[in-house]
A and B are shown apart, each in its own frame.
Chain A
Amino acid sequence: MKEPRHDAPAKTGWEPYLDPDEKVLWQGGPDASVVLNAGSISALLFGLAFAGFALIWMIMAAMDGEFFWMFGLIHFSAGVGIAGGSLLWPAWRRRHSWYTLTDRRAFIATDMPVVGRKLKSYPIASDTVLEFENNTPASLFFHREYRRTKNGTREVRVGFERIQDGKRVYDLMRGIQRQAVAP
């Protein structure tokens, strides 16, 4: 497993977006290694089967000598995209992500090729639900949002994924919540 990137946040340049009296408590980056889990494995198998079927169809269509076989390229590319994307996309996204926790907000910054830079901030309130997954590396989720899919939308968890010092960040967030409650 690659070491999480602790030197990365200095490059993100999000300091101008802090409130005048806002203090940075923690900065870090996620582990960017490729992770195999149930979801990625099933997508990988589905994508390979889809691409394989398209490949067989293309070979059989090409035997007729017409240019019909080229239409299999659409399905073949889709299959390869599903297989490769499910495996590489999450790691690629994490590789271009940086995290910051201040005394009132959590920041997630991304700088993806073509898409460009994005900076999203999530206020941490006393009623913010924290979901801590104490694995190695750990993940800490603090927001849920909806992402668009082919069949409508699905709810996804948002947070600091695969960070090395997860317990410390969790304790810092609990501290922010206690301060928010305190009179």
Chain B
Amino acid sequence: MTRRVGYGEDALGGPWDAKLRHGEEIIWSGTPRLGLALDWHKFWAIVPATAVCLFYLVATLREPSRGEELAIGPVGPVAIFAGFVIYLAGYSAFYAMTIPGIIRYALTTERAFIYRAVPWPKLADYDIGLTAPIDLQNASIYFADETVRQGRKLRRRAVGFRNISPAEAEAIHDMLREIQQRAIT
């Protein structure tokens, strides 16, 4: 099977070494390019809240005209609310970013590993399904999905190697097909 060292890596080794099964081998490992990917669902939720915050801040800080009373509330609570919204926006933007070294990917002869160093080290593995759809999107490739809890809601999200460059994504596509075909025969 083809073996390849991806962007940002010197060798195929990594935090997944201790988790390999008997006979399982790493065939690709790499790290994503630096990228800011907006989470549109969060973005659209944040826009109205940010607009309201800005409106109140501007209206509150505005000097009242002569004879006009300031009808808007105090700056403090609004500033706290604005700070909270900006924190949410910043956190979601950071979490959607792909940062070289902080996120690392590996593909073995059986499954894929995704390692994230912050906020705490986390290594997740995903078996490559025989009939799993493979979704090639420019510089990213998705090959599984998972259920995650967000607040009180459960959401399904696509899992894959994000922002690894179009050439790398195409190479991974071929490797995933090799894995699927090998499992069938």
Contact A19 B156 (CB under 8 A): no
Stretch with Cβ within 8 A of A (4 or more), from B21-29, B90-98, B134-142: B134-142
Stretch with Cβ within 8 A of B (4 or more), from A29-37, A50-58, A118-126: A118-126
Task: Give CA–CA (A17, B55) in the complex, Å.
Answer: 51
Given A150-B41, A151-B153, A117 and B138 touching (CB < 8 A)? Answer: yes
Cβ-defined partner of A123 (8 Å) among B47, B130, B156: B130
Interface of B: prevailing SS: mixed
- Shortest CB-to-CB span from A12 to chain B, Å, is 12
Task: Give CA–CA (A123, B180) in the complex, Å.
Answer: 9
For chain A, give the interface size range.
20 to 34
Contact with A along B37-76 (1 / 0, CB 8 A): 0000100000110011001000000000000000000000
Contact B51 A146 (CB under 8 A): no
B78-124 residues at the A interface, CB under 8 angstroms: none
Cβ-defined partner of B55 (8 Å) among A19, A71, A125, A128: A71
Contact A120 B156 (CB under 8 A): no
Closest to B181 in A: A19
Q: Is A152 an interface residue (CB 8 A)?
A: yes
Contact with B along A129-146 (1 / 0, CB 8 A): 000000000000001011
Cβ-defined partner of B136 (8 Å) among A19, A120, A123: A120
Given A19-B177, A123-B180, A148-B41, A118 and B51 touching (CB < 8 A)? Answer: no
- Shortest CB-to-CB span from A156 to chain B, Å, is 11
Q: Is B133 an interface residue (CB 8 A)?
A: yes
Q: Is A116 an interface residue (CB 8 A)?
A: yes
- Shortest CB-to-CB span from B124 to chain A, Å, is 18
Q: Is B154 an interface residue (CB 8 A)?
A: yes
- Shortest CB-to-CB span from B18 to chain A, Å, is 31
Contact B136 A17 (CB under 8 A): yes
Closest to B151 in A: A152
Contact B133 A122 (CB under 8 A): yes
Q: Is A16 an interface residue (CB 8 A)?
A: yes
Contact A120 B133 (CB under 8 A): yes
Q: Is A63 an interface residue (CB 8 A)?
A: no
> Which of A19, A74, A148 neighbours the largest number of chain B CB atoms within 10 Å of its CB?
A148
Task: Give CA–CA (A17, B136) in the complex, Å.
Answer: 10
In the A-B complex, the 9 residue pairs with the smallest Cβ-Cβ separation, listed nearest first, are A146-B156, A123-B131, A120-B135, A152-B153, A119-B136, A153-B156, A118-B137, A116-B138, A122-B133
Give me 13 other A-B pairs in contact (C-beta within 8 A), A74-B47, A119-B136 excluded: A19-B177, A74-B51, A118-B136, A119-B137, A120-B136, A121-B133, A121-B134, A125-B130, A145-B133, A146-B145, A150-B41, A153-B154, A153-B155
